[in-house]
Amino acid sequence: MTELIACLSSGKGTWAHVAKVIEGYPWERVFLVGDKFAREKFQVRPNTEFIEVDFSRFLTELIADVKSKLEGKIKGLEVGVNLISGEGKEHMAILAALLKLGIGVRFVALTPKGVQEI
């Protein structure tokens, strides 16, 4: 599990949590899924790719968008996933896109003991 997919959207304090998840583990690559506002405001690290989407789209369109933008970019068979930021529709789109790509998921979060699989 050397790649991370994280949602970067709404929720007070969630961007700080996502930043600490990114910093707290030696990820080979990080993919942040967020909107234009998040892309402009969140400071991205060198090994990070921002997947810009429009969260106001219908769920089926959002799934297709995330899937097409991730297709061919994930190297492994599974990824770490952090969904602390955002809402249910956004989370469903990310998970559905990953599953449609045949990628397994392991949920990760910042805990008192550091970044851990939950």
List pLDDT tens digits, range 15-70: 999 999 999 999 999 999 999 999 999 998 889 999 999 999 999 999 999 999 99
106-116 burial: b if 16+ Cβ within 10 Å, else e? eebbbeeeebe
pLDDT bin (cut points 50, 70, 90) of residue 74 is very high
Residue partners of 34: CB distance under 8 A and separation at least 6:
7, 8, 9, 42, 50, 51, 52, 53
Taking 3-state DSSP, the helix, strand and coil percentages for the chain, each rounded to the nearest 5, stand at 35, 30, 35
- All domains of the chain in start order, with CATH: 3-117 (3.40.50.10770)
Kindly tell me if the per-residue pLDDT of 1 is higher than 80.
Answer: no
Of all residues in the chain, the percent with pLDDT exceeding 90 is 92
